Each structure stands twice: as structure tokens, then as C-alpha cells.
Amino acid sequence: MTKSDESRPLKDRTKLVHAGRHPFEQHGFINTPVYRGSTVLYRSYADLVARNAKYTYGTHGTPTTDALETAWTEITGAAGTVLAPSGLSAVALALLTVVKAGDHILVSDSVYQPTRSFCERFLTRIGVETTFYDPWLGEDIASLIRPNTSVIFLETPGSQTFEIQDVPAIVAVAAAKGLCTILDNTWATPLFFQAHGFGVDLVVEAGTKYLSGHADLLLGLVSANARWFPRLHATFDLFANCPGPEDVFLALRGLRSLELRLREAERQGLALATWLVERPEVARVLHPALPDCPGHAIWKRDFRGSSGLFSAFLKPTSQKALAAFLDGLKLFGMGYSWGGYESLVIPFDCSSYRSATKFAPEGPALRFSIGLEDPDDLKADLAAGFERLKAAG
Ligand SMILES: *Cc1c(COP(=O)(O)O)cnc(C)c1O
């Protein structure tokens, strides 16, 4: 634990700089090095029999993975954290920590699409049934609970469409019924949404996004409260699905500047979102920090900030015009994932798989991840794109 001398708790930004580091256990060097290894030697037969060693085998943890887990536990306010080799594998680990054959689970209709596929294509195979629920449901989610329901899975804001869930209302229902809550907190990170503080049991973060911040690694983290951490850790040990040490090291490097980058992502994201609101080609911008965005009031009540990822619906136009807009962009790259230093845009269409809500914008839907470029340059790139769109439309 990183502590200040007085009893006053340290601010997040300070914690991010100091958490999980022990320079004088490594000759004074600031950063925990990359420990590579499978075998860990025991000093004696007696130690081997008693498993009397801090580290016992590569899959069970190294000083490098410990550093990130300890830091993340401190920043999330959890009882403990385990790592996974991707965000999606962290989602799977969290679910498999809780469910058993015969269970029923409730999953928000606007979860990250591969989370949905994991439920539909894998959990069904082990006898777990999923009901997808409208993310706008608050306490009324109680009406969907069955005697065998074990999990309520949340993701706020929702992937691509940015619905803000009423987490306190859902957690209260889950607590009253003894259900486990799992929340994918990738958009806000613990800096902008303290999910464990709201009583969520297991919290997933795709470290691939803002923790990395540089589009150069894949990583997942699952943090748990005291009730669930022993079972999470035991499940992690059963799978031994651990990330590579180089990626963990890079995530630790990203951690130190996470607050700084996230604040800038917020500023840049809002600058571009408010600019898009004024464009005649744009029908609607979905960004929870904009006052007329659905869910804004709940966002304001529960969140401490917004990140640089949001969506926009364009006014109806042709595929040819959309292609002209996208293909000529010089600064915005087109590709999956987000949260790096570079700006991205990706068209999306949820209409074929959302089941509890209707996705039917009149025009194309685009998701933007705003990077660290100068916002004037980004606006100019998009403005030129809108000129091409008009010319082709
Ligand atoms: C990207 C993402 C994931 C998965 O992360 P990967 O590391 O790409 O597997 C999970 N949840 C959300 C909300 C994401 O955006």
C-alpha cells in the first residue's frame, strides 16, 4: 500500500506514480524489471514441501505481475486483482469465476460484442443461459431475476451506443437477492468510475485500451472485493491464463501517466464531440458528458470524468459518400480497439445482434477514439471528409 505520512489518503494521481513499486528491493532502480520465468527454485527440501517461497511457479505470478496487481488493487479499491492476456479473457475469467451449469445470468444488451458471443456461444455449451436486458433498466431489472440467476453483468457506458447504467439501483437489487455483479469498466477506468465503491463485486478492465495508451499491447485485469477475491484467484490458478511479462511491464509504464492521458482524452474528446454537434452532416452525438445525451444525469451523479471515446450518427447518406468520407481521412485511422495516442474512427451497426433494444439510426453510425493530435488538425481532417461526403452524396 502507498500511504501518506498523515492519515489523509493519497490522491489517485499520486497513487498511480507510486503504487506497486519497491526500488530498494531492486538496487534502487525505479521500475520493476521484466521477470521472465517458468521454474522458481526452492532453497531446500523443507521449503519445497512447505511451499515456503513467495514465488512458486511462473504461472502463479512474478514480481512484475505482482507490481501491476498490487497497484491496480490500490487504485480500484478492491481486495485483489488478477491479470489476463486480453480484455476479453478477463471478461471470461470473471464470468467463469461465478457461473456453474444450470445458472441463468443477466447481461446488458449493449455489452462489448465479443462478451455477448462468449455468453451465446460458450456459456450455453456449459449449461448457462443468458438473458440480455435493456441497459436503461434500473431497479426494474428485479423482474428478470429467476431462482437460478447468479450474475448481473454490466457495462457502462454501453459499447458503441454509450448508455449509462444506473449502477447503484442494479447493485441494490443484486445485493438484496444475493447475486454477483460484474462490471466492464474499460471506458471510464477506476479513475473516472469507482465501481467497487458502488458495491460491484468483480470489475473488468481491458488494459489494452487506456492503461496501455499506445496500441502496443493486449492485457486484461479483473479486480474483486473481499467476498469474491478468493474464488477469482482460485479460478485464475486453474486456468493459468497469464499475460506475457513484457506486456505487463508496458502496462506498468502506462499506469504511471494514466491520469494525465485520461484527462487529456477527456478534453480532446469533448472538443471534437461539441464540434461534431454543430456540423450539419451530423444527426446526433452520443457522448455521456454532453448535457442532452441520454444518461447524462446519471453520468454526472456517478462518474468523475469522461474519456475520449464516443459515437455519432450521421444524417442519411449513401455508402459511396460514407466511403468518400472515411477513405480520405489523413489523421483518423480506421481499425478496431481504441484508447491509444492516435485518433481512430470506425463505422458500426448493432442492428443484427442487439436483442433487448432496437438499434435503428437513420444514417451511418461512427465511433470515434480521439487521440493526442492537435484538435484543430483533427477538426480540419473531419471537415475535409464532410466536403468529400457532400461531393459524393
Ligand atoms: C476492447 C474491449 C474489451 C476487450 O479487450 P481486448 O484486450 O481487445 O480483448 C472488453 N471490453 C470492452 C468494453 C472493450 O472495449
CA of 260 to the centre of ligand 1 (A): 21
Domain range for 209: 10-256
Count the neighbouring beta carbons within 10 Å of the beta carbon of residue 121: 10
Average pLDDT estimate for 15-39: 96
Confidence of residue 5 (pLDDT cuts 50, 70, 90): low
Per-residue pLDDT tens over the stretch 109-118: 999 999 999 9
Q: Do both 271 and 343 map to the same domain?
A: yes
Cα(317)–Cα(388) distance, rounded to whole angstroms? 12
What pLDDT score was predicted for residue 364? 98
pLDDT at 303: 98
Looking at 256, 285, 309, the residue that finishes a domain is 256
- Give domain status of residue 298, yes or no: yes
**Cβ neighbours of 92 (radius 10 Å):** 23
Ligand 1 atom with minimal separation from the 209 CA = 1
| Sign of the CA dihedral running 136, 261, 68, 2 | negative
Same structural domain, 211 and 358:
no
pLDDT in tens, 243-275: 999 999 999 999 999 999 999 999 999 999 999
Pocket test of ligand 1: the residue of 108, 208, 214 to mutate, having most ligand atoms within 8 Å of its CB, is 208
What does the pLDDT look like over 331-340, one tens digit per residue? 999 999 999 9
Q: How far does residue 155's CA lie from ligand 1's centre (Å)?
A: 11
Identify the residue whose C-alpha is closest to ligand 1 atom 10: 87
**Do 248 and 349 fall within a single domain?**
no
**Predicted confidence (pLDDT) per residue in 77-89, tens digit:** 999 999 999 999 9
CA atoms within 13 A on the CB side of 175: 11
Distance 29 CA to ligand 1 centre (A): 33
**86 alpha carbon to ligand 1 midpoint, in Å?**
7
At 176-235, the pLDDT tens digits run: 999 999 999 999 999 999 999 999 999 999 999 999 999 999 999 999 999 999 999 999
pLDDT tens, residue by residue, 358-392: 999 999 999 999 999 999 999 999 999 999 999 99
* 155 CA: nearest ligand 1 atom: 13
The answer to whether residues 192 and 68 belong to one domain is yes
What's the pTM? 0.97
Cα 84 to ligand 1 centroid, rounded to whole Å: 12
pLDDT at 105: 98
360-363 long-range contacts, CB within 8 A, separation 24+ = 361/283, 361/284, 361/313, 362/283, 362/313, 362/315, 362/316, 363/283, 363/313, 363/314, 363/315, 363/316, 363/317
Q: What is the pLDDT of residue 278?
A: 98
* Residue 250 domain flag: yes
DSSP track, 16-37: HHHTT--GGGTTT-SSPP----
Residue 51 lies in a domain: yes
Output the domain CATH number for residue 298: 3.90.1150.10
Are 302 and 267 within one domain? yes
Q: For residue 83, give the CATH number of its domain.
A: 3.40.640.10
**The predicted structure's pLDDT at residue 4:** 55
Q: Is the pLDDT of residue 6 over 70?
A: no
Mutation test residue for ligand 1: of 111, 116, 337, 348, the one with most atoms within 8 Å of CB: 337
Q: Count the domains in the chain.
A: 2
Whole-number pLDDT of residue 7 = 81
Closest atom of ligand 1 to CA, residue 89? 9
CA angle 259, 265, 270 (to 5 degrees): 130
Q: Whose CA is nearest to atom 3 of ligand 1?
A: 87
Ligand 1 centroid–CA 93 distance in Å is 13
Give the distance (Å) from ligand 1 centre to CA of residue 70: 22
Under the banding of pLDDT at 50, 70 and 90, the label for residue 3 is low
Ligand 1 centroid–CA 134 distance in Å is 20
Single residue among 256, 273, 297 that ends a domain in this structure? 256
> Is residue 1 in a domain?
no
Q: Whose CA is nearest to atom 5 of ligand 1?
A: 87
Ligand 1 pocket, residues with Cβ under 6 angstroms: 86-88, 91, 112, 155, 159, 184, 186, 206, 208-209, 218, 220, 337
- 365 and 314 housed in the same domain: yes
Pocket test for ligand 1, best of 86, 110, 111, 112 (most atoms within 8 A of CB): 112
Q: Which of 212, 232, 256 lies at the terminal end of a domain, its last residue?
A: 256
For residues 7-11, average pLDDT: 89
Query: Does residue 296 form part of some domain?
Result: yes
Q: Give pLDDT tens digits for 294-322.
A: 999 999 999 999 999 999 999 999 999 99
Cite the DSSP H helix spans in the chain. Answer: 12-18, 45-50, 63-76, 87-98, 113-117, 167-177, 189-192, 229-239, 245-256, 258-277, 296-302, 319-327, 375-392
Instruction: Convert the pLDDT of each residue in 107-158 to its tens digit.
Output: 999 999 999 999 999 999 999 999 999 999 999 999 999 999 999 999 999 9
Identify whether the C-beta of residue 285 lies closer than 8 Å to the C-beta of residue 260.
no
- pLDDT tier at 393, thresholds 50, 70, 90: confident
In a domain, 215, yes or no: yes
Q: Give the distance (Å) from ligand 1 centre to CA of residue 52.
A: 37
